[in-house]
Each structure stands twice: as C-alpha cells, then as structure tokens.
Amino acid sequence: MQTRYIIAVFLSLWLHTVYALDPLPSWNEGANKKSIIEFVAAVTNKSNPQYVSPEDRIATFDNDGTLWLEQPMYTQVMFAISRVKTLAPQHPEWKTQKPFSDILSGNTKALANISHDDLEKIVAETHSGMSVEDFIKIVQDWLASARDPHYGRQYTQLIYQPMLEVMNYLRANDFKIYIVTGGGQDFVRAFAPQTYGVVTAQIIGTAMKTNYMFVGDQPKLIRQPQVLLYSNYSGKAEAIDLFIGKKPIIAFGNSDGDRQMLEWTQANKKAHLMLLVHHDDAKREYAYGPNSPVGRFSNSLMQEALKNHWRLISMKDDWKVIFPLDKK
Amino acid sequence: MQTRYIIAVFLSLWLHTVYALDPLPSWNEGANKKSIIEFVAAVTNKSNPQYVSPEDRIATFDNDGTLWLEQPMYTQVMFAISRVKTLAPQHPEWKTQKPFSDILSGNTKALANISHDDLEKIVAETHSGMSVEDFIKIVQDWLASARDPHYGRQYTQLIYQPMLEVMNYLRANDFKIYIVTGGGQDFVRAFAPQTYGVVTAQIIGTAMKTNYMFVGDQPKLIRQPQVLLYSNYSGKAEAIDLFIGKKPIIAFGNSDGDRQMLEWTQANKKAHLMLLVHHDDAKREYAYGPNSPVGRFSNSLMQEALKNHWRLISMKDDWKVIFPLDKK
C-alpha cells in the first residue's frame, strides 16, 4: 500500500502540472466553457455531492455537425455518391434507375432533396457485398483522396478543434468517450480512431447486418444490404443501452437526431450535463437550423433545450477557432 | 517526463511484487497453465516478436459452461421457468398451451427435450414488456433467492475459481475482458459486473429489441418480444465485430456455440490463443460432451480443436478447485 500511495502522489502532482494550463484553450471565456469545467471539477471531486466514480463517467458525442462538419451534405453521402460513380460501369441499369441516374447525370437539384428511402437504397448498394475490413479500407482510401468542395480540405481536417479539446479534457479526467453517430458505424470506425483517438469499441453507429463465412481458409464478415440497427433519434438511446448499458453523464449533440440521447442523459440519476452545438457562424462555417434538411435543429428541439436548460454552444461566440488548421 | 519515469518505475516494482506470486493458484502445473502464462508473458514483452499493444489485448469469454455452471440446465432457462410459474395467474391460457403447460404441470421429461423454438416462445413471453432496468431488478431478485438443485447454492457461487484467476491475471496485464455469451445480454449484465468485475459495456450477448418511450415524464427502454441479435455460433463473431471492432487475441469457450469465436480469434494476425473448457469431471462437477443437449461439445468441434491446436482444459486434471467456496 505504501508504494501505491507514493504512485498516487506523483500522479496527482503530474496531473496538476498539466492542468494548471487552460484545458479548453480554443473556447472563449463564458457560461458554456465555465459549465463544462465546473461539471468536470464537481464529478471528479470525491468530497463534492455531485461526485461520480470513474466507471460511470460516460461521455457521448454525436459525430456529424458535433465533431466534424456536415454541410453542404453529410460526408458519408458524399462517399456514397462517389461510390455510385466508381461502381457505375458494373451497373449499366443505374443509368435509367433513380436515384442512381440522378447521381450519374449530376442532377444536383434532385440530390439536394433526396429522400431517406433513396439514400437507403444507395447505401444498401454501395456499402455491402464486401468484408468489413475491405469496406473500411475503401473508406480510408476515399477519405485520403477526397476534398470538401467548400474548404478544399480533407474531411478529417474539418473536425472541430474545441471539441477535440473537450474530448481530451474528459479523457484526462477518466471519462470514457463514446461516439454515438447516426452515420454508419464502420464508416466512422474507418477514421475516428486516428482522428479523435477513440477506439473502435467506443464507436457506436447505424450498423448493417454482417454474415460470417469462410472465404478460402479464412473467416470473413460480409456486409449485407440490410440495416441491423439505426442509431439516430430513439435509436441513439437504444444503442447506448445496448452497447454501454449505462446512461451517459455528459452528452454533446447538434440536431434533432440527438434529442433522445440528451433526454436519456438527463434521466441519469447522477450528475449530468447536456449540450448542443449551434451552427450560427455563417462566416467561418455555416449558419443553419430548422429549415436545413442536413443537421436540422428544429424549433421543437430548441424549445425542449430551453425548457430543460440544455446548453447551447454558439460556434460564433464560444469558439475561438473552428478547425485544427486555424490554430495560430 | 522525469515524474512520469519515476511513476513507471514504482508501478513496475509494485507489479513485480504482486506477480512474483503464482497468478493462477487454482491451476495445476501443466501444459495448459504454462501456455496461458507464456502467452501473457510474450504479448506483454515489448522485445518479444509476439508483443501486442494494450489496446489490442482483447480477451473474450463465453459464460455458460466457461465461467459458470450450465448443468443440468442453463441458469437462464431455470429463471424463465420460474418466471412462467410466477406469471401464470395472469395467463390462464398457459394451462393448455405448450410449452407453458409442460412447465406448469411439471412435465420434466418434455422440458428436458424442449426445442429452440419453444424456448424462444418462453423467453419472448417472460423477458419482455418491462423496462430494461426493471428486468435487471427481476433477475437480481431471482438470483438472490434461487438455488441450484444439485449443489443447493446460489448460481453466482457456482462460478469457476480458475477462470476468475485467469480474468484477474489478464486484467492486471492490461487485457480488456469481454464476456460474449449466447445467453441474454441483460440477464448476464444483471450479475456479471458484481460477480466477475466486468463492466456492462464489456458484456455482449443475445439481445432483445428495445423501444424508447416516455412513461410519465421519464424516458424508458421497453423490452420487446423480438430478438435483435443472436450471439451464438456465427453470431458470436458477428457480435464481436459489432461491439468491439477488433479480433480477440485470446478466447475461452466450452461448446459448439463458441466455435466461430475461436475461429475468429485464430484469424487474428497478431499472436493468439484459443482454449476450450472440457467438462470431464463427473465427481466434482459434470462430465458431458457430444450427447448433451446442454453445452454440447460435438465430435466435429473436437476434431477442429485438435486440428487447430486449440487447448483443451481438463476440469479434472487442470483445476485444483472448481468453485470459489471450495478454496481452502
């Protein structure tokens, strides 16, 4: 026990040295930054009534619009469109089949208003038939070469620096960081470990069914054109229980699909904090809300957020920089 | 870095003190104990070509027959039978409906040969309609009062002491311990955190669909009479990928349902070790194999195990004690 005590003292001294520095340097001083820091201070302080033991320090983050950009279109949809073009020579029938024909003819107006069912058709055709590991390689290759049309940068560079700092800060305080995305679980697993430092087991998303089979003498999991579980809206709370089995104590979202995740967090009997990133920065990023088909932040979500005192993070006012490359 | 170095030295000294002791005291000396200890030594030694970094040290354990007893009948089936009896007054129709009528009339011969479909009917009726947290409370209350018919002990006392030691040993060597059970995920989550020290997020099992809804002003997840995913046979490999996203490097099973989990582990390009508990101890526990409907260890599994050099753990020869209460 003596040695253990000495370790604890050294560890404690070392952590104090590290965190005497501002843990959220890209956040402007204000009520939101203060709320995060005070929450972390409270739940990690054993003599505080709000103390939460490390195994219950579950943090969940939405991905699209919360950790990285989602405008003018979700990155995974950009990927699916690119896949349709790549695979078109093997599918001559797509030339006359909607929604594939709209993609191949460049009918951007039709694509802007694409329905959920049509998106699902595209995903089913382009995201299945290969092994999980082959799919992840396809996504990684695409992410390495694709560029966002507005900034001309790789998508993995268009992540939010202030949110990276929140993830690091929580991690340093023994929180377990989960990504709970409405996007494809394997799509996000293809880049999030390297990009955010989150291991695959802590990346939860909409998942396709897979089938176990031998290809030659090696077992493979082959992706099927069938959704096993949706991780959006109510599906986020359901997936959190399925994968984690505990309610989060802190959750970050930005749109209607995150509502139930925040409600589920609010239902935690332990201390909890709910936050929504509000895209109100037309100059540095985008400003959008109830009328955006991508990342809709409806009026009813806003009402619920205000009623429940969920914190609204203003990109314009709270964040000094948006992307890591903007850091001085 | 200086402080970090000092911490590392102290930590290392402390671990050496702890593990100079035998990490597997309930195991007899022999090839199996040796294989586990040598494997752990190899994958944790940075200068060994078999070294595996901590984030890839994934260990998966089956539950029934691997971590606790499964004879004369799976514990969850005993629970389901008890639930049928408890709920019978609310279901007068069960008196004449098979398989419920067999349970209520005590037709043990029919129950011994119950079909998979009938079991599913019983589970659907007795494991759904309540919230996840209410279900977990029901299981915990049952486990607190129920006694195994043979030993007259609580089921949570009928866990295998040598396997507890393996879990602790791996944990101390920075392995992440997962339970991957064919049994119900929430059934196992009701006791495994306290019984084995494994957090809910690392307990994977056959899962029922849940529906998110408000009951009064509180959101609840209500269990539906519908299986979302099976975690047995091929479903174990599929679930490991869904929940973990990495192949295990060490896996323990005991029956046909674990075969694909061991194949999946064997397909790992990193160092790996596969082991099967063989129930060959009629005196202290049970001896069963290809002819047992519960925990079947078929001849074809045995052939595959021998061909692939999976290690066969003999309860009779390898284990000094079976249950924690047997320890001197």
Read off the pLDDT of residues A160-213 as tens digits, 9 standing for 90 and up. 999 999 999 999 999 999 999 999 999 999 999 999 999 999 999 999 999 999
ipTM of the complex: 0.93
DSSP string, A116-159: HHHHHHHHHHHS-SSBHHHHHHHHHHHHHH---TTT-S-GGG-B
Residue whose pair of structure tokens reads 């011969």 in the numeric block? B109
B168 min Cα distance to partner chain A (Å): 17
* pLDDT bracket for residue B232 (50, 70, 90): very high
| A55 lies within 8 A of chain B by CB | yes
* pLDDT bracket for residue A15 (50, 70, 90): low
| A90 lies within 8 A of chain B by CB | no
* pLDDT bracket for residue A1 (50, 70, 90): very low
pLDDT at position A54, please? 98
Query: Starting at the edge strand that comes first in sequence, how are the strands of the sheet with B58-61 ordered?
Result: B218-229, B203-215, B176-184, B58-61, B250-253, B273-278, B311-314
| B169 lies within 8 A of chain A by CB | no
Q: Which residue of chain B is at minimal alpha-carbon distance from A235? A: B212
B41 by DSSP, 3-state: which?
helix
Helices (H), B146-258: 161-172, 185-189, 192-196, 234-243
pLDDT at position B110, please? 83
Give the tens place of pLDDT for each residue, B11-46.
555 555 555 589 999 999 999 999 999 999 999 999
DSSP string, B241-277: HHHTSS--SEEEE-SGGGHHHHHHHHT-SS--EEEEE
pTM of structure: 0.93
% residues pLDDT > 70 (chain B):
94
Q: Per the CB < 8 Å rule, is B185 touching A229? A: no
| B219 lies within 8 A of chain A by CB | yes
B285 min Cα distance to partner chain A (Å): 33
CA distance A213 to A117: 29
Q: Per the CB < 8 Å rule, is A219 touching B14? A: no
Q: Per the CB < 8 Å rule, is A238 touching B221? A: yes
Chain A hits for B212, CB-CB cut-off 8 Å, are 234-235, 237-238, 260, 264
Evaluate if residue B153 carries a pLDDT over 90.
yes
Residue A43: its H or E element: helix A31-43
Nearest by CB to residue A221, choosing from B132, B238, B244, is B238
Chain A hits for B229, CB-CB cut-off 8 Å, are 228
Chain A hits for B228, CB-CB cut-off 8 Å, are 228-229, 242
Mean of pLDDT over chain A: 94
Under DSSP, the state recorded for A311 is E
Evaluate if residue A112 carries a pLDDT over 70.
yes
B7 min Cα distance to partner chain A (Å): 6
CA distance A124 to A142: 18
Give the tens place of pLDDT for each residue, B65-83.
999 999 999 999 999 999 9
- Cα-Cα-Cα-Cα torsion A185, A191, A197, A199, nearest 10 degrees, comes to 40
Residue whose pair of structure tokens reads 């398989």 in the numeric block? B99
Q: Per the CB < 8 Å rule, is A185 touching B242? A: yes
Q: Per the CB < 8 Å rule, is B246 touching A132? A: no
Nearest by CB to residue A201, choosing from B200, B238, B243, is B243
